[in-house]
Amino acid sequence: MAARVLQLAKLISDSAATIDKACTENGTSVPDLDAPFDPRGEMFRSHAGVSVAVNTAISAANQLLATLRPAPSSILQTSSGFVHSTSLRVAFEANVSTIIKEAGGDGLHVDEIAAKAKIDPKKLVRILRFLATHHVFLETQPDVFANNRLSSLLDIGKPLSELHSVNKFEGTSGLQALLARILDESAKARSYTWETLHDPKSAFSEEPGDSPFCTFIGKREPYWDWLEEPEQAPQLAALGVGMGVMDSMLAGGAILKGFDFKSLTENDLIVDVGGGVGNAVLPIAQANPSVRIIVQDRAAVIEDGIQHWKQKLPAALDSGRVTFQPSDFFAPQSVKGPSVFFVRHILHNWSDKYVGQILSNLRAAASPHTKLLIMDSIMHYVCRDPAGEEGTVPGWESMRNDAPPPLLPNWGMAGAQTYASDLQMMAMHNAQERTLLHLSKLLKGAGWRLIRVHPDPSHLNPQVEAVPI
């Protein structure tokens, strides 16, 4: 075990040296944890070899921590994870980061923060001190707190006077809107996971009405239906802005780094199934002025999509090259034989039962030449992949990219967000993220054959390509 500790320490040291060398050669630096977040500080990640070095250091550091910290302490820390989320929510909803920023200077006394937040300072100081211990906020002097790289991300970017509106997240990056939903109904829903799994009525159900979220709200109403209740208008508005985080990543060109959309012609048609306002296919339409696109979603979303494209790419609408169509992906698909059925971040919202229906409906409408392109997170095993049949699919080996021993093959904490997302899908929708083998089986059952995986450097948007069997 001592040798393992030395191995992990060396991986951290070697990774730090790689990062330092790349930064020195390129005139950049690793961002300062004590300074507010600045997107320009993330430039160092783009240098050759740095991404792998960062993941190695994160994975090794967390494995070293788990090895050296007393086991009872570690399990107690893990069991109290809810303390982190509840504390973070207090600071976020109380606009602590914004209050500190607007005050200027090197920090603000908790009494002044609490007065503006209308919170008991004797309670708030304990929450902020807990967060600062975990590197969210700085305590610069006794009872005086300042923003740092992490706490500054809690600031929505608007004046404090504007943070009580239903649409307070409009015009923001979307990250804080996403945090609002994760820290509120999502965190509350996850606390009912055991009750849902233990109840014979819901334990083995694949129905969205039997999710932990439904246990939390006390009725069998799927999350998407709940969001459309009039009283949930602030939550719906926030989620709409929050989803823009993923769309902005695609807007940077990530979607064009996989399937060859640029090779399609005016004779080709892409159907974006459940495409919302069409943000995902907007970069495709901009890069390929010939291909035709139909964006399908619920009728309530269609008008928003049309207005969105009138602002972003009106010529595509005016020419009829891009159209919107009300659709239900659980009903028979109305568009027959397109070149591509595009399904992004849809399947992970549904259990296997419903994913089978979606895929079967698309297969019934496909021609022998139709391609099915799925963008969803792909789960990795925590052990070494035995490389079964799916391991021979072109592109999978480079995407899998196992970490070197003694690190966990899935890169441990460096890749943990996908697993958190999986449990998020369970809590909110009774759904899940999937391994490639799992997805391959669902595809086969619906008449599709997996032929390729297009890896995504960010690991957030891999593209899985399938064809009719």
- Which residues are identified as catalytic? 348
Cα 344 from Cα 372, distance rounded (Å): 11
Backbone angles phi, psi at 435, to 5 degrees: -75, 165
Instruction: Show the beta-strand stretches assigned E in 216-350.
Output: 269-272, 292-297, 322-326, 340-344
Cα 341 from Cα 423, distance rounded (Å): 27
Burial per residue of 384-396, b for 16 or more beta-carbon CB atoms within 10 angstroms, e otherwise? ebeeeebeebebb
Cα 14 from Cα 20, distance rounded (Å): 10
Residue 235's nearest CA partner among 162, 180, 308, 293 is 180
CA angle 432/437/443 to nearest 5° reads: 80
Which amino acid appears at position 51 of this protein? Answer: S
Cα 434 from Cα 290, distance rounded (Å): 34
Which amino acid appears at position 437 of this protein? Answer: L
Count other C-beta atoms under 10 Å from residue 109's C-beta: 16
Cα 428 from Cα 193, distance rounded (Å): 10
Cα 112 from Cα 139, distance rounded (Å): 14
Give the H or E element holding residue 465.
Answer: strand 463-468
Length of the chain in terms of residues written: 469
Give the H or E element holding residue 444.
Answer: helix 436-445
Count other C-beta atoms under 10 Å from residue 183's C-beta: 19
3-class SS letters over 32-64: CCCCCCCHHHHHHHHCCCHHHHHHHHHHHHHHH
